[in-house]
Amino acid sequence: KGAVLGPFKGRVIAIGATAAYSFRLGKTPATLRLRLFEEFNVKNRLEGHSALLSLTFPISMKTPPSADN
């Protein structure tokens, strides 16, 4: 018989901030976003700081004929 671990339940509370900057890469709109979190009141998880940096842009985009000029 193998080990019985039971349910793995964890929880965390976090507070933080986010900042975003929207710009164009040529004709493509893009957004750069930074998120910072401080985690506390942690149970059954790692505790600490989190930082996430993301760049988002559409893979394809249909523009109206008047926008091509």
- pTM for the model: 0.66
Query: Which residue has better confidence, 54 or 28?
Result: 54
Q: What is the model's pLDDT at position 5?
A: 72
Q: What is the model's pLDDT at position 21?
A: 98
Using the 8-state DSSP alphabet, how is residue 65 labeled?
G
Query: Nearest Cα to 30, choosing from 65, 66, 69, 61?
Result: 61
- Whether 23 has a pLDDT exceeding 80, the answer reads yes
Q: Output b/e per residue, 9-19; b: 16+ Cβ within 10 A.
A: eeeeeeeeeee
Handedness of CA 54, 33, 43, 11 (dihedral sign): negative
pLDDT one-digit tens code per residue, 31-69: 999 999 999 998 888 888 999 999 999 988 787 777 555
Structure tokens at 1: 């018989």
How many residues does the structure list for the chain?
A: 69
